[in-house]
Structure 1
Amino acid sequence: MTATADALPRAGFSLAGRARVSLRIAAMLLWLMACVPLYYLWRVMRMRNPWPRRFLGGIARIVGARVTINGTAARKGAFLLSNHVSWLDIPVISGASGSAFVAHSGLADHGALKWLCDMNDTVFVARHERRSVHAQVEQVRAALSESNALTVFAEGTTSDGTSLLPFKSSLLSALDPPPPGIAIQPVWLDYGVDVASMAWVGEEPGLDNFIKILARRGPLPVTVHFLAPLDGEESASRKTMALAARERILSAMARNR
């Protein structure tokens, strides 16, 4: 992966913006080269592996994210339901919580990206293949029992960060009913006044959003709000979970605006 100058003119970046893209991609590659051997060393020694979290947290910082944590992430085995604004959400949440992610199976078609996802124990699901729903539920439950946390972006796509799309209860099939000992915790990613300049919405290609954020000048403050986990009644079904988690995030947004 290289910072291609050819890809930058169509987005209208300045010379300084192009330099920031190049420098940040170089720093990301160097950080990857430093982390990968350590990841495999820990894996050979069969030790709990901190390097996916450290790598992704480092990526967020290289890009300019300055993360503040509000609240406390639930104990081991939490299922996090988060809003979704940009690709940057993944390194921010992972760096803050050590979470793995539920991702669409289409990502598994990209070799290098799948390799990185596998290192962080990503669970790939085929949302439109109903014949495989049972197997996917078991896969998610196994990941929950093994990982520190598992995050799903419950809107099913990105939004502009100023409001929430409806949460898709179908994404919560593995939690209906919730496995014993699993905390279901809403998470709000708050990029503050900067959200409009970095959100991935509309017809913008993913590569353009990636480069746009790398070209930004200055820090990008983001607060990760770990909200109160859902209680028993709120967890009665996947539909009640989706509604309750969305309402909790909306309430936090209203209090902080």
Structure 2
Amino acid sequence: MHYLWRLLRLPSPWPRWFLGRAARIAGARVEVVGTPLRRDVFYVSNHLSWIDILALGGASGTAFVAKAEIGASPVIGWLAGLNRTVYVKRENRMGVAQQINELRDALAENWAITVFPEGTTTDGKSLLPFKTPMLRVLEPPPPGVMVQPVLLDYGAASEEIGWVGEEGGLNNALRILSRRPHFPLRISFLEPFDPRDFPGRKAIAAESRRRIEEALVTALGGPLRPFEFAVAPVNYAGAPPAD
């Protein structure tokens, strides 16, 4: 059905439908809190699992910036590709500049785009520093584009769902798919802000992180904890170092 819509040059609703159903099949029972902007929006989200892409895509229709490993995953990579995901290739020194241009083109077409600026997945109890290279697309912000922070909260199941440590992608997928019972996922679309009020990608990242951290502390009912797993974040080769 998706390819038929594309052949007729119509906006296809099917990737969003597929992603939402796939998230449910994987066990996620999604609750949406807040109102997602539908176009001209740059979502900035925390990151726990490959399920994030399924659920966020199903809830909002957003495209993504994701690690290249996701694109190589069976089924998940195919679904993400249908949804116009821009993949980060860590080994490609020229990749960042090319991907920034792809993001600018996508925003020019009124897409919603999501980035996971922690650069890796965590356990749902922590929040890593936000990397800023992919936010260069907002220097300066394209006309009319807003930033909307997003909190993904798996509740008590977050440590089981989080893809961390040395676990391989296939093993993680098999573990999640065989898990019983299903698990909650609350997607909180926080108040959007105009990136022009926070000039520069570092200021935009800091404001996004502040809002997500505030919402996560509220959801946890207490302070965040240090991330317990020694997982190196994505290194965007060729990009200037973030500080």
- Fold conserved between structures, TM > 0.5: yes
Gaps of 5+ in 1: 1-37
Q: What TM-score does the superposition give when structure 2 sets the normalisation length?
A: 0.83
* 2:187 maps to 1:224: yes
Question: 1:175 corresponds to which residue?
Answer: 138
1:124 positional shift? 2.5
Classify 1:131/1:204 alpha carbon distance in 2 versus 1 (closer, same or farther; 3 Å). Answer: closer
Classify 1:153/1:132 alpha carbon distance in 2 versus 1 (closer, same or farther; 3 Å). Answer: closer
Distance (Å, rounded) in 2 between the aligned partners of 1:170 and 1:71: 27
Question: 2:128 pairs with 162, 165, 179, which one?
Answer: 165
**Which structure has the greater CA radius of gyration?**
1
Distance (Å, rounded) in 2 between the aligned partners of 1:213 and 1:102: 23
Distance (Å, rounded) in 2 between the aligned partners of 1:94 and 1:241: 23
Letter aligned with residue 182 of structure 1 = V
Question: 2:99 pairs with 136, 141, 147, which one?
Answer: 136
Question: 1:123 corresponds to which residue?
Answer: 86
Question: Could you say which structure has the higher helix fraction?
Answer: 1
Question: 2:210 corresponds to which residue?
Answer: 247
1:166 positional shift? 0.5
1:240 positional shift? 0.6
1:178 positional shift? 1.3
Higher mean displacement: 126-135 or 51-60? 126-135
Give the CA RMSD over aligned residues. Answer: 2.1
SS in 2 for 1:184: strand
Q: Encode CA deviations 1:90-145: one digit per residue, 9 max, x unaligned.
A: 10100110011112345556787654433111113445645454432221011123
Q: How does 1:1-257 map to 2 (within 5 A)?
A: 38-105=1-68, 115-127=78-90, 129-146=92-109, 148-232=111-195, 234-256=197-219, 257=221
Distance (Å, rounded) in 2 between the aligned partners of 1:177 and 1:224: 28
Higher mean displacement: 142-151 or 169-178? 142-151
Classify 1:122/1:147 alpha carbon distance in 2 versus 1 (closer, same or farther; 3 Å). Answer: farther
SS in 1 for 2:127: coil
Distance (Å, rounded) in 2 between the aligned partners of 1:143 and 1:66: 29
Quick check: 1:99–1:150 contact (8 Å CA) kept in 2?
yes
SS in 2 for 1:56: helix
Distance (Å, rounded) in 1 between the aligned partners of 2:213 and 2:82: 33
Distance (Å, rounded) in 1 between the aligned partners of 2:20 and 2:30: 9
Q: What TM-score does the superposition give when structure 1 sets the normalisation length?
A: 0.79
Distance (Å, rounded) in 2 between the aligned partners of 1:128 and 1:168: 17
Quick check: 1:234–1:244 contact (8 Å CA) kept in 2?
no
Letter aligned with residue 13 of structure 2 = P
Letter aligned with residue 84 of structure 1 = H
Identical aligned pairs, as a percentage?
48
Instruction: Give the number of aligned pairs.
Output: 220
